[in-house]
Amino acid sequence: MDYKRLAELLFPNVTQTPADMESLYPARQLPEGAKVTRFAPSPTGFVHFGGLFPTTVAERLAHQSGGVLYLRIEDTDARREVAGAAEGLIKTLSRYGIDFDEGAILDESGKVSDKGIYGPYKQSLRGPVYHVYAKQLVSEGKAYPCFTEAAELEEILSVNKKEEIKNTDWQAEAEARRAEMLKAREITMDEVEKNIAAGNPFVLRILADGDSERKIKFTDLVKGAMEIPENDEDFVLLKSDGIPTYHFAHAVDDHLMGTTHVIRGEEWLPSLAKHLQLFRYLGFKTPKYLHIAQIMRLDENGNKKKLSKRDMGANMDDYTEMGYCPEAVCEYVMTLLNSNYEEWRMQNPEKSYKEFPFNIKKMSVSGCLFDFAKLEDVSKNVISKMDADKVTDAVTAWALEFDAPFGKLLSENRDMAKAIFSIGRGGKKPRKDLATWRDAKPYMGFFFDEYYEVESPYPDKFPKEDIKSVLTEFLATYEPADDMTVWFDKIKSIAEKNGYTTDMKAYKASPESFKGNVADVSMFLRLAVTGKVNSPDMYSVMQILGKEKVEARILTMIEKL
């Protein structure tokens, strides 16, 4: 077969050569050790927690090494594309600390446009580039056209779709296709000419030189050394509309765009042999690979399951409504990504997670477990370290979007809100009441009469008379100008007077000798003033509420008793 002639027949309009491409995409001038990584989403929907994961790795590796992180839109499957998804992805990722240096980015008008000289960064705009390399492969006898309908079928039953046809006999299907494939390899120039003259579409297949009985040694930077069977499948490079498959586009783009490290989900591992073959055929240097394990979750029975698209916590956009702050989510992702992160955090409580020396070797090989309880924990810590201004602004912004009346109250009473969020903030042991902005209302809503509500009655064991008398005596002596010690001394003396001890030691030794202790007396006041059994520091609460409200609430309670 005259491969050069075949190449001309198939790609008569391609005049550029791989050498032309190399000069259009010059090697990057970066410092030694700088890594070039990318996020390469198919714009089919939202950012999944499982997608934020590899992307954070890509961001860290690039920026920690003085390299480049770029965004490439893999929109070669028009059937699956969702309008506006690319814009959404970019915005969401930016919220989670992932900002791209290059690639498809948002311009001022909010539309996706290219930044950088290695574009276009949208695969649908790169047709001519792929065709240059397709032509090269054909002219070297490494790829051939396939005009049969079965080829179309294969395109539809591509790797990703295997799942869906589980019910058919996959083995028989594979054998039939192999026979088909071997027959297709034998195509003659005559047949090609006839088909082309008739305007018949073709798919371009690689001519695989592998033997699945033989193994290739390969080292994945996360998974370590492995042996994978060679590829013996003549997989499709170009679909009949001339659009490349993921495999082909991956090799061409990551080569031309100078990617040094490909970070992607482990669902691509089964395709790796194909990719290695392609890089070899094309004469490209293979990038380093990091295949990241799927994120798991525990189901109701405690079994590990893949965190699927529909699971709670999968869609990153939901976190905003749930009220998680991005800093906390990033912090949580870091704890999952590197096993020594939490230790580092303890030693460096004030530093940004971006200062952590991220280490590929400390990544989990087998997959991380997604756990809301852990996220909440991390989040409480993160929020506890923020200053009151930041918390006030964030809670207000969240509420304005998701709980407008509450948001309005907060913004109209900003000073008061800030004073509330200042309670127990700063110092060595800050309060950890908030895991999400959504937690703010249950925590401090009682400051506003609109949300003040007595949540539970006084425990029956305390005589109503005692409670009444405590509340009444407190009112009689209450003086907002008192400092905290004087204020508390007054409560203590009210306690003693009513037979509630202030001597906690004595109380613990024989609780039956007392009606109760000073903590119970504080609870009488707390329930009246805040409506709750637990609340932030009562002295601060009363200071912020002010004399009028404190007295009014206590009076109402006395009347109710």
What's the closest the beta carbon of residue 74 comes to ligand GLU, in angstroms?
4
Q: What values do phi and psi take at 263, rounded to 5?
A: -115, 115
Q: How far apart are the C-alpha atoms of 537 and 552, rounded to whole Å?
A: 19
Q: Considering only residues 63, 223, 247, 264, which one is a binding residue for ligand GLU as defined by CB under 6 A?
A: 264
42/501 with CB nearer ligand GLU: 42
The contact pattern for ligand GLU, residues 74-93, with x = CB under 6 A and - = no contact, is: x-------------------
Segment contacting ligand GLU by CB under 6 A, of 37-45, 81-89, 288-296, 531-539: 37-45
Nearer to ligand GLU, 75 or 180 (CB): 75
Q: How far apart are CA 233 and CA 205, in angstroms?
A: 9
Q: Which of 11, 35, 36, 42 binds ligand GLU (CB under 6 A)?
A: 42
Q: Which is nearer to ligand GLU, 60 or 264 (CB)?
A: 264
Q: Which stretch binds ligand GLU (CB under 6 A): 38-46, 222-230, 382-390, 513-521?
A: 38-46
- Determine which residue in the list 131, 135, 247, 250 makes contact with ligand GLU, applying CB under 6 A: 250
Q: Which amino acid is at 351?
A: K
User: b/e map of 411-431 (b: 16 or more CB within 10 Å)?
Assistant: eeeeebbbbbbbbeeeeeeeb
Which residues share a beta bridge with 36?
Answer: 68
Q: Which is nearer to ligand GLU, 264 or 438 (CB)?
A: 264
Q: How many residues bind ligand GLU (CB under 6 A)?
A: 7
Question: How far apart are CB 264 and ligand GLU at their closest, in Å?
Answer: 3
Nearer to ligand GLU, 239 or 264 (CB): 264
Mask for 55-74, x = binds ligand GLU (CB under 6 A): -------------------x
CA distance 361 to 363: 6
Considering the complex, state which of residue 40 and residue 295 has its C-beta at the smaller distance from ligand GLU. Answer: 40
561 vs 552: CA distance, rounded Å: 14
Please report the sign of the dihedral spanned by the C-alpha atoms of residue 249, residue 251, residue 254, residue 256: negative
User: Which C-beta is closer to ligand GLU: that of 268 or that of 332?
Assistant: 268
Shortest distance in whole angstroms from residue 452 CB to ligand GLU: 50
> For the residues of 163-230, what is the DSSP string, one character each?
GGGTTS-HHHHHHHHHHHHHHHHT--HHHHHHHHHTT---EEEE-----TTSEEEEEETTTEEEEEEP
Alpha carbons 318 and 315: distance in angstroms, whole number: 6
- Residue 73 beta carbon to ligand GLU: minimum distance, rounded to whole angstroms: 9
Q: Which stretch binds ligand GLU (CB under 6 A): 40-48, 111-119, 332-340, 386-394?
A: 40-48
For the CB of residue 206, give the shortest distance to ligand GLU in the complex, in Å.
Answer: 18
Contact 71, 38 (CB under 8 A): yes
**What is the C-alpha to C-alpha distance for residues 206 and 133, in angstroms, rounded to an integer?**
12
Nearer to ligand GLU, 360 or 419 (CB): 360
**Do 415 and 388 form a contact (C-beta atoms < 8 A)?**
no
Which residues have CB under 8 Å from 346's CB, separation 6+? none
Nearer to ligand GLU, 42 or 136 (CB): 42
Phi, psi of 71 (to 5 degrees): -115, 125
Closest C-alpha to 246, from 222, 268, 220: 268
Tokens encoding 112: 């996706």
* CB-nearest residue to ligand GLU: 264
Bridge-based pairing state of the strands 236-238 and 203-206: antiparallel
Nearer to ligand GLU, 40 or 314 (CB): 40
Q: Which stretch binds ligand GLU (CB under 6 A): 34-42, 201-209, 300-308, 362-370?
A: 34-42
**Would you call 335 exposed, middle or buried from its count of C-beta atoms within 10 A (0-12, 13-18, 19+)?**
middle
| Residue whose CB is less far from ligand GLU, 58 or 386 | 58
Q: Which two tokens stand for residue 19?
A: 């050498």
Instruction: Give the one residue of 10, 40, 363, 521 binding ligand GLU; rule: CB under 6 A.
Output: 40
Q: Supply the minimum distance, in Å, between the C-beta of residue 376 and ligand GLU.
A: 29
Q: Mask 135-174, x = binds ligand GLU (CB under 6 A)?
A: ----------------------------------------
Question: Which of 6, 10, 11, 41: binder of ligand GLU (CB under 6 A)?
Answer: 41
Q: Which residues bind ligand GLU (CB under 6 A)?
A: 40-42, 74, 250, 262, 264
